[in-house]
Amino acid sequence: MSMGKPISIPWKLRRISRRLAREPKPPTLDTFLDQGREEEEAISTLLDYCEKDSHIRAVMKRHDVNREDLREIYLHLIHNLGALWTGGHWLPASSLGLPVPLEYILKHPDVRGFGLIAQLTRYFERDPASPVT
């Protein structure tokens, strides 16, 4: 249910999102270990991106959060059904790499789990009823 103009995504964040959203390879011990390393590298790249972006840094400073806090938020989103593409965005990456959704997450620590995923999905799909602004 997309309404209105899509939310733009910087090309670096799009590239990071594609790395993070890769489908797992058939399981073997080697592929399991390789995928773990690849995922950690991709998460680290996302966190580097967030720390380098002046808008994200400003949000982080305003809410006194650091790299590890962002990592915890990313993992929370992944583990609560947020590992999905919505409105052209890999929800966990864009939620950290764009200032509006990150500001919402940090301003509303009481909204977590599926409720948070639903609110972010509505935002990325440009639902006018979305509380994320």
pLDDT digits (tens, 9 = 90+) for 62-117: 999 999 999 999 999 999 888 899 999 999 999 999 999 999 999 999 999 999 99
Identify the pLDDT of residue 127. 87
Report if residue 130 sits inside a domain: no
Reply yes or no on whether the pLDDT at 29 is more than 70.
no
Identify the pLDDT of residue 23. 65
Report if residue 52 sits inside a domain: yes
95's tokens: 């939620």
- Across 20-24, 63-67, 125-129, the highest mean pLDDT is recorded for 63-67
Reply yes or no on whether the pLDDT at 3 is more than 90.
no
Q: Model-level pTM? A: 0.85
Report if residue 2 sits inside a domain: no
Angle between helices 29-52 and 67-77 (to 10 degrees): 130
Reply yes or no on whether the pLDDT at 14 is more than 80.
yes
The answer to whether 106 and 65 are in contact (CB under 8 A) is yes
Q: Looking at the 3D structure of the chain, how many domains does it have?
A: 1
6's tokens: 């899509």
Q: Is 85 helix (H, G, I), strand (E, B) or coil?
A: strand
Identify the pLDDT of residue 58. 98
Report if residue 61 sits inside a domain: yes
Report if residue 3 sits inside a domain: no
Domain that holds residue 117: 11-124
- Which strand (E) or helix (H) includes residue 74? helix 67-77
Task: Provide mean pLDDT across the span 123-129.
Answer: 89
The answer to whether 119 and 104 are in contact (CB under 8 A) is yes
Reply yes or no on whether the pLDDT at 2 is more than 80.
no
Return the closest-CA partner of residue 10 out of 120, 91, 89, 100. Answer: 89
Report if residue 55 sits inside a domain: yes
Report if residue 69 sits inside a domain: yes
